Structure 1
Amino acid sequence: MTEIEQLLDRVADQARNTRPWGWPSLPEPVEKAALTRAEEALGFSLPPLLAELYLRIGDGGFGPGYGLLPLLDSPPSSEPAAVPQYLANRESGRKDPEWPWPEGILPISHWGCGMYACVDCRTPHATVLLYEPNADEADRAWYVDAPALTEWLQVWLDGTGWYEESHDGPDPTPWPDFRIRAGVTRAA
């Protein structure tokens, strides 16, 4: 069994025992057709591990914080779905160039107060970013939560994330690629 298969098994076991949104049961996994529709709407593919989470474990409702967002549709939760939230964030960023939303950065989990865990779908290991919009400038709103989705999931499973009361490790660090990825140029 590969490390990814072992990780998926651990996530599935934990997912069966958590209900961040208070759902009575874990949502059913998405079908391949829903994943295809999501990727067509986004204009890019989901990282393989993220796709497997949706295809094999459930359509959101598990993971750190409020758990993974549903992929396309919100019911039975009032939480937004990942794809519509991404599209809305991109549109909002076009309307307000001071707060652009970088292409390929998919929100996957809501932390409350407008904060999201996001996956960089353009990096080989699916870097997980923390978006904290309560900063005074957009480039101070982005942090690297984990260099890879695998590590982000491990931290959740191990109970060692920055969001845990018992956390005593490093906090997320600023995302150095924000300006490049968002197309923001520095004032001369």
Structure 2
Amino acid sequence: MTEDEIVEAIRVLPNLLPPASPEAISQAEEAIGHPLPPLLRRLYLEIANGGFGPRGGILGVAGSEYEHHFEVADILDVDQSTRDDWPGMLWLFDWGAGIWSVMDSRDPAGPMWIWDPNFDEIEYPDESLLIPQNMTLAEWLTESLNGNLEKAFETSGLIAVSERRAVFDIGPDELEYASPEPLTDDEIIDAISRLHPLIPPAPLLAVEEAERVIGFDFPPLLRRIYLEVSNGGVGPGRSILGVPITGTVQSADIVEFYRIWTSGSDPFVPPGFIWLCDWGNAIWSLVDCRDPSGPMWIWDPMGPYRRPDQISSEEEKSVDHPELLAQNMTLAEWLTEWLKGSFTKDFKPSGLRAVAAHRGGLHRPFALG
């Protein structure tokens, strides 16, 4: 979206706060030491003094009637405690749990950053508390307006979003890919059984309880993996999730994510879709349990992220980028790809869209009902 389009899209939102006064903008800019990025300045003066953006909206400047955050009144209130250590960085939006979206006001484009004191120091040993979001303010607001930023945050987190936008997607014509001959279920079970180390299989009662909660039987191949081979921990990406087992501690399982993102009042995907494998980069592989073959789907709310020269004029006009799209593989084919080396450690999760295109073209978004 252009800046004009962003302004007009926010202008028609309901229950907007009154705009900021020119005096409040001047006061903020004097305290910061330079002008606000033009887009933010324009939104404050023309549209609303905060309260737009994800959830309850971003903070405003002095005089804002913003009520989403009860500890700080405006960007200068937060800025007081951070100005010496991070000059020019403005804490704009609080996601909760100590996580903020932060804007570098020294650049007219308003590059966005992440403040996250909760990130995994083992997984991200070289990261500081302030991490680039790899988005400008205009891009951040665009993704907020279409709802994709919040979906990606809910299902993965802002650091994963940053990783998603660190490199452009590979185009289907750039992908060196040949579909391998699919293995049979027995061959897949045998191949996985030879891997080490493996998590112990799940008890039958645990698998049956997970199926009861989800409301669908697992595809037979997935059921066999859980019961005969390993309760998760195998497969590409960060490996498939297992079922919960009473009396054990698991970092995550398919039932937990099904309850959060599929069975709630505002589901992200249709009933029967289970969140099977987290690739990182705000991308997941899901399996459709309504079909015994287990069709695989891609959850990618922040994609595609294409180089400008790869985007056709028709794509540029379209805002219909499905966050849920068919992988054009069954579970057996997906596991075959992994076992035969298609999904190596060098495979970028954003390449899943290109693989889907090679295997039959991208499907339209799946209707939730």
Deviation at 1:87, TM superposition (A): 1.4
C-alpha distance in structure 2 between counterparts of 1:40 and 1:91, whole Å: 13
Aligned to 2:144: none
Q: In the alignment, is residue 111 of structure 1 matched against residue 279 of structure 2?
A: yes
C-alpha distance in structure 2 between counterparts of 1:54 and 1:138, whole Å: 37
How many residue pairs match? The answer is: 165
Aligned to 1:178: 366
Q: Equivalent of 2:259, from 87, 94, 98?
A: 87
The alignment yields a C-alpha RMSD, in angstroms, of 3.0
Aligned to 1:65: 237
Change (3 A) 1:118 1:165: closer
Aligned to 1:150: 332
Q: Share of identical aligned residues, percent?
A: 25
Q: In the alignment, is residue 134 of structure 1 matched against residue 315 of structure 2?
A: no
- Report the 3-state secondary structure (helix = DSSP H, G, I; strand = E; otherwise coil) of the residue aligned with 2:242: coil
- Report the 3-state secondary structure (helix = DSSP H, G, I; strand = E; otherwise coil) of the residue aligned with 1:161: coil
CA deviation string 1:125-171 (max 9, x = no partner): 1111111122497861122224211100000011113874498x942
User: Counterpart of 1:156 in structure 2: which amino acid?
Assistant: W
C-alpha distance in structure 1 between counterparts of 2:292 and 2:365, whole Å: 15
User: Counterpart of 1:147 in structure 2: which amino acid?
Assistant: M
Aligned to 1:120: 288
User: Counterpart of 1:71 in structure 2: which amino acid?
Assistant: V
C-alpha distance in structure 2 between counterparts of 1:160 and 1:144, whole Å: 18
User: Counterpart of 1:154 in structure 2: which amino acid?
Assistant: T
C-alpha distance in structure 2 between counterparts of 1:115 and 1:148, whole Å: 18
The 5 A counterparts of 1:44-55 are: 44-55=216-227
C-alpha distance in structure 1 between counterparts of 2:200 and 2:320, whole Å: 36
Structure 1 residue runs of 5 or longer lacking an equivalent are 17-24, 184-188
Q: Equivalent of 2:206, from 34, 52, 60?
A: 34
Change (3 A) 1:72 1:161: same
Scaled by the length of structure 2, the TM-score of the pair is 0.40
Scaled by the length of structure 1, the TM-score of the pair is 0.75
Deviation at 1:85, TM superposition (A): 0.4
